[in-house]
Amino acid sequence: MASSNKIPLNYIVFDDESDELQQNKSNVSVAGVDCNLIFINPTDFLDVATNNFKITEFESMIDEKTRGLQINLIASDWNMLPKTDNYNEINALEIIKILVNKHEKFKKIQYLIYSGKSKEVSEVLIGEIKKEIEENPQDPINSKQLLSMLLEMKLKFCTRAARFSEINTLIYNNKTISLIVLNTLSSFDSNTFHNTGNDFFDGKKIGELIDLISENNNLGLKFIREFIEMSIANYTELNG
Could you count the other beta carbons within 10 Å of the beta carbon of residue 202?
12
pTM, 2 dp: 0.71
Residue 240's pLDDT is: 46
218: burial class by Cβ within 10 Å (0-12, 13-18, 19+)?
Answer: exposed
Q: Residues 115, 118, 122, 125: what is their CA dihedral angle, to the nearest 10 degrees? A: -10
What local confidence, expressed as pLDDT, does residue 70 receive? Answer: 79
| Residue 137: per-residue pLDDT | 65
Q: What is the pLDDT along the chain (240 residues), one digit of tens a residue?
A: 444 467 788 999 999 998 999 999 999 998 888 899 999 999 999 999 999 999 999 999 999 998 878 788 999 999 899 999 999 899 998 999 899 888 877 888 889 999 877 667 767 777 776 777 677 666 554 455 666 666 677 888 899 999 999 999 998 887 665 566 666 666 677 788 777 777 777 888 877 777 776 666 566 667 777 777 777 777 776 554
Query: How far apart are alpha carbons 166 and 151 in whole angstroms?
Result: 20
User: For residue 2, what pLDDT is reported?
Assistant: 42
The CA angle 1-233-179, to the nearest 5 degrees, is 45
Domains of the chain by range and CATH? Answer: 7-173 (3.40.50.2300), 177-235 (no CATH)
- Residue 188 CA to residue 18 CA, distance in Å, equals 35
